[in-house]
A and B are shown apart, each in its own frame.
Chain A
Amino acid sequence: MRILTIVKHVPDSNVPIKVRPDGTGIDTTGLKYVIDPFDEFGVELAVQLREKRGDVSEIIALTQGPEKAAETLRVALAMGADSAIHLSDPIFESFDELFYASVIAEAVTKQSTPFDLVLCGKHNIDLDAGAVGPALAEFLDLAHVGAVTNLEITPDGRRFTARRRIEGAEEVVEGALPALLTIEKGLVEPRYPSLPNLMKAKKKPLTVLTSKELPGSASHKASAQIAYVTPPPPRPECKFIEGEPAQMAHELVRFLRDEAKVL
Chain B
Amino acid sequence: MNVLVFIEQRDGRIHSASFQLLTLAEQLAGKTGGRVEAVVTGQNLGDLNDAISRGGARKIYVVDDAELAKYRVLPYCTAVCAAIEASKPKVVLFPTTFMGRDLASRVAARTRAALAIDCTEVSLDGDGITVSKPMYAGKFSGKFKLAPDRLQIVTVRTNAYGAAPPRANEGVEVQAVSLPLRDSDKRIAVKEIAATGSGVKDVTEADIVVSGGRALKTAENFKIIYALAEVLDGAVGASRAACDAGYQPHTRQVGLTGKVITPKLYIACGIDGAIQHLAGMRGSKVIVAINTKKDAPIFKVATYGCVCDLFTLVPLLTEELKKMRAH
Contact = CB atoms under 8 A, between A and B. Distances in A.
B69 interface: no
Contacts of A14: 275-276
Contacts of A224: 114-116, 144-147
Interface string A239-255: 11100011011101101
Contacts of B304: 238-241, 252, 255-256, 260
Interface stretch (B56-64, B162-170, B171-179, B189-197): B189-197
B313 A134 contact: no
B265 A227 contact: no
A179 B184 CA distance: 12
A131 B109 CA distance: 9
A262 B145 contact: no
Interface residues of A, number: 85
B305 A226 contact: no
Contact of A225 (B77, B144, B282): B144
A158 interface: no
Interface stretch (A56-64, A111-119, A168-176, A193-201): A168-176
Instruction: Identify the interface centre among B115, B275, B283: most chain A CB within 10 Å of its CB.
Output: B115
Nearest to B274: A14
B275 A238 contact: no
Contact of B303 (A96, A141, A236): A236
A144 interface: yes
Interface stretch (A72-80, A85-93, A121-129, A206-214): A121-129
Contacts of B279: 13, 125
A255 B305 CA distance: 11
Contact of A245 (B74, B190, B192, B313): B313
Nearest to B312: A245
Contacts of B138: 128, 232
Contacts, number: 274
B195 to A, nearest CB: 5
Contact of A167 (B98, B117, B232, B256): B98
B73 A134 contact: yes
Nearest to A185: B257
Contact of B187 (A134, A176, A256): A176
B30 interface: no
Instruction: Identify the interface centre among A143, A168, A255: most chain B CB within 10 Å of its CB.
Output: A168
Interface stretch (B20-28, B84-92, B314-322): B314-322
A92 to B, nearest CB: 17
Interface in B262-314: 264-265, 275-276, 279, 282-283, 285-289, 299-309, 312-313
Given A130-B101, A223-B150, A262 B265 contact: yes
B316 A249 contact: yes
Interface in B92-121: 97-99, 101-102, 104-106, 108-110, 113-118
Nearest to B289: A238
A185 B253 contact: yes
B134 interface: yes
Interface in A126-153: 126-139, 141, 143-147
B217 interface: no
Contact of B105 (A134, A170, A230): A134
A165 interface: yes
A172 B191 contact: yes
A221 interface: yes
Contacts of B251: 165, 170
Given A17-B139, A128-B138, A223-B115, A146 B109 contact: no
A97 B306 CA distance: 41
B286 A262 contact: yes
Contact of A131 (B71, B105, B258, B307): B105
Contacts of A127: 117, 135
Given A224-B144, A262-B285, A129 B118 contact: yes
Contact of B205 (A26, A146, A161, A168): A168
Contact of A125 (B72, B130, B137): B137
A260 B303 contact: yes
B202 interface: yes
Contacts of A145: 188
A227 B73 contact: no
A25 to B, nearest CB: 9
Contacts of A130: 101-102, 105, 117
Contacts of B204: 167-168
A167 B205 contact: yes
Nearest to A246: B316
Interface of B: 70-74, 77, 97-99, 101-102, 104-106, 108-110, 113-118, 130, 133-147, 150, 184, 187-197, 201-202, 204-205, 208, 232, 250-251, 253, 256-258, 260, 264-265, 275-276, 279, 282-283, 285-289, 299-309, 312-313, 316-317, 319-321, 324
19 contacts: A14-B276, A128-B118, A130-B102, A146-B98, A146-B102, A165-B98, A168-B205, A185-B258, A224-B116, A224-B145, A226-B142, A228-B143, A232-B134, A238-B304, A241-B306, A248-B308, A250-B320, A256-B286, A260-B285
Given A185-B253, A225-B147, 5 more contacts: A131-B105, A146-B98, A171-B192, A173-B72, A260-B303
Rank and list the top 5 A-B pairs by shortest CB-CB distance, nearest first. A168-B202, A223-B114, A138-B109, A134-B105, A135-B109
